[in-house]
Every structure is written in C-alpha cells, then in structure tokens.
Amino acid sequence: MMTERVKKLREQSLAAIPSISGDRAGLITEFYRSPEAGRTTSAVAHALAFKHVMAHKIICFNDGELIVGERGHAPKATPTYPEVTCHSVKDLRILDSRPKTSFRCDEKVIRMYEKEIIPFWRGKSIRDRMMEQLPDAWKDAYEAGVFTEFMEQRAPGHTVVDDKIYKKGMLDFIADIDAEIARLDFLTDPEAFDKREELRAMRIAAEALIIQGSRHADKVRERAGREKNPARKKELLRIAEVCNRVPARAPRNFHEALQMYWFVHLGVITEYNTWDAFSPGRLDQHLLPFYQAGLRDGSLTEESARELLQCFWVKFNNQPAPPKVGVTAEESGTYTDFSLINVGGVKPDGSDAVNDLSFLILDVIEEMRLLQPSSMVQISKKGPDTFLWRALKIVKTGFGQPSVFNTDAIVQELVRQGKSVEDARNGGASGCVESGAFGKENYTLTGYFNMPKVLELTLHNGFDPRTKKQLGPKTGDPAKFKNYEELFAAYKVQLRHFVDVKIAGNAIIERLYATVLPAPFL
C-alpha cells in the first residue's frame, strides 16, 4: 500500500513535464572558459569541472520526500552535455515541439545555447573531435547507414555497482586513493604520471560528491527551520543528518544506504550522460544487512522500509534519458534511462539468495507501476517457487515488469567469458539484456550494425545506390553468380569488411574518450 506521501510524490512524478535544464551546460562551459581548465591534464580538468557543477548546480528538494536529489533543477528537468555532443538551436526547437517524447525548452535556455554554449563548444565536443579523427571509410559507412555509433551521442558508462559503496564512504575512497598515489614508482614506471593524474582526478571527484551531500543537508536544514509541522520538522532534521553522513562516510542504516546509492547515481549521471544504464544491481542483496539490522533494533519496520523504497522508486522516474541531437532528435526518443534492478539469484557460494527483502521489493514494483526503474527477477533452480509465482503474478497484470532471467544461464555465460564463478554469481543483467560482473566491468554500447544494408551492398558489388559511393570491396556482379553459395560467400566478405571498419573506428573512439574525456567519478 502507498502512503499519502508516496501517492503525492508519484503523482508529481507522473505529472511532471520533461524539460531541458540549462544549468549544467552553463556551469560546465563556465569552468572550461576559466584559466584553471587549461593549467592541468584532461583527467584533472574534468574532475574539477565535475566539482564545479556539484558545488553550484541548483539543488532541488521536493515537498514530502525522504530520498533527496535530482539531476536537474526540478523533477524531469534534464541537463545537457555539450562537451560530449552539443545540441543546435534547431535540435532544441525540435525537442520542444515534437509530438512524442518532447522536452520543453525555455527560450532563455535556447538563447544561452545560441550565444554561449554552441560558440564555445564548436569543434571541442567529443562528437566533433570524433568526426575529425575517424577515417573516411568509417564516415562513409556511417553516413550510408551501415552502422550507428552511440558514442557520438552519449558517453560510456553502461555499468552496475556492487556492494563497495555500502561499505565505504567517499572519505574512505579518498584514503585508498592517497595510499595508491604514495605507492607510485616514478623511477621505473613510465606510466606513473598518467596514473597519478587519474588518481588525483578520482580524488577530486570523490570530494565533489561530498559537496553534493553537504549542500543537500544545508538545503533540508534550511527548510526545517521554516517548517511548522513538528512531525515533518523532525523528518527534515533526520534527512539532513543522513545527508551529512553519506556520501562522505559509509551508510549505517537502511535510509542512509538508499541515499548513498542515490547520491552516487546522481554523481554518475551528472558527470556524463552515460550510455546506457547505470544501475543499482542486486538491490535486495546490498540492502539486506541494513534491513535486518533495522528490524532487530527497532529503528525500521517493514512499512517504513516499504515507504523508503517507494520514495527511491520515484527518484528514478524523475530522471528521463537526456535527448539526442541531429536527426535522432527528430526521429528517435525515449524517456527511459534503462536502469535495471536485479532481484533474487544466488549468493557467491551458489546458494539461494532470495530473501524477505526480495519479496518486499516485488511488492514495491507492483504498487508503484512506474516506467523507471526497470526491474527483473533472477530465477535460479535453487530459488523457491513462491518467488517465481510472486513475480509472475505481477507480470500477469500487463505492466511489463519485472522481466524474467535465468540466473544459471547468466552465470554460465559470464564464466564462459572468463569471469570467476564468484563474480558471475554476483553479477546479472542490466540495460536491456546485457550480462556482466557487477562492480567489475563496463559494457559500452557502440551502436547497431545494419546487416540488411550489407546485403544491399553485396547485391551492388560493394556500391551504395543511395550515396553513390563504392563503400565495400568489389565482390562480383551478383547477376553472374552461379548459385546461392557464391552470393553468400560474397556477403561474408562484405560483412567482414564493415565489421573491421566499425571495430577500427571504435578503437579510435575509445582512445579519444580515454585521453580527451575521461570519467574519473565513474
């Protein structure tokens, strides 16, 4: 059951109109215009830019909420990332007016883009650099529609956290970083300088997240000073205490654990517009110790835990995916950021991981019925039938969640890829259906590959009738092929050629991100 608080927050989220926020774009441009940006390495510069955003971005605090923090200045206000790809004025007007998945864009933001953002980032964005550095063969195939490239629209970051952030605060990570810097060997390691700069950047990024927590604490405490309702005033002071604790230090209870994750989530998606999902992973496993401890000491009840989880669900639904640019601004759109919560599965020792919190999370999924976050159940042969039946009861409602995954198949696939059995069991799925070892790897999506287009090119001897260019190798006139086998052999030659073009391009794109636009917080 939803409390009145949750009903109001849910309705606010559903009624909120997605819009473009100019806050981050203005701040990131302001930093890169400053002399400080040019005095250091790219890794440290990006960390300082992130810190500048976290120190000055508008803090949004919604009435009645228990979990705090928004990416933009209001629910569903979505920032832009001009250092990755810069929207044109035409893009912004299309986004404002398109009939489906529109993003309202204030004229003030459009004027800021026209006068400040676009002139500064022209030629400097990763998309502009990419198009300058990639070979003509890649660009010709891309323009012909042989493949798409996600990295020219959004930054890498399709990954899932494990339990690190529930055991350590940012101050602990800073101590680890300092120890790692102290161990660097500048005498014999030629990469020591690059390692130090990346570590320095990570340290600054961790400090930035602490600033985010303390600014929210100040905002909530200020609100508490004006609050007339004694019960809400007490709540507000408790929220301020939570924000003073996390993310600087490790969470101690259920509320702090949820807020810790949410601050980290906001940090990742504020640093860059990660493609695709950044996800909490196995939430029932990570939160279980806090849930059990709270029930034991009386600081938590099942009802209060349910309400906190419901408030947590609303936060995800307040964050639509940042809109794209160019033709995709006109033709492609979704509000979903594909953040996927895993429930169930197995423990590192292979035993059943389903617990009381797994069932409580299923209740929340059914009650909230929100587009985000997405949810899935990991079904293992070790798990109880009651868990599967509970999930299927929700699926039966037609809501579309949770999706159902075979834990044993996920583990088998990850082990086949070379992961340890323990990492495979701690992993799962994220985004759409991608499997991975949580907390250990990033699965960057680099675009779609158009195999029918390759067939069309094969049928024209590597020539593209649309762009009037010889894109592929000359594999023969199909009219002269004696049989299907000859056609298919020619198709395979074309396919290998364009796969090689795509992969070679990705090697360049990945190095550009690593050297020009690293992600020290992530």
CA distances from 467 to 141, 463, 478, 502 (A): 10, 9, 20, 18
| CA–CA gap between residue 521 and residue 519 (Å, rounded) | 6
Residues 6+ apart with CB under 8 A from 505: 134, 135, 138, 142, 149
Q: Residue 434 pairs with which residues in a beta bridge? A: 430
Place of tokens 């050297």: 515
Tokens for 522, please give them.
């992530």
Residues 157 and 436 sit within 8 Å (Cβ to Cβ): no
116, 180, 434, 486: which one is catalytic? Answer: 434
| CA–CA gap between residue 12 and residue 4 (Å, rounded) | 12
Over its C-alpha atoms, the chain yields an Rg (Å, rounded) of: 25
Residues 51 and 211 sit within 8 Å (Cβ to Cβ): yes
- Cα 322 from chain centroid (whole Å): 10
| CA–CA gap between residue 165 and residue 226 (Å, rounded) | 33
Judge whether 60 counts as a catalytic residue: no
Judge whether 243 counts as a catalytic residue: no
Q: How far apart are the first and last CA of the chain?
A: 36
Query: Is residue 52 classed as helix, strand or coil in its secondary structure?
Result: helix
Find, among 324, 277, 319, the residue nearest to 442 by Cα.
277
| CA–CA gap between residue 331 and residue 347 (Å, rounded) | 43
Angle between helices 42-56 and 192-226 (to 10 degrees): 0
Opening angle at CA 399, ends 393 and 405, nearest 5: 65
Residues with catalytic function: 432, 434
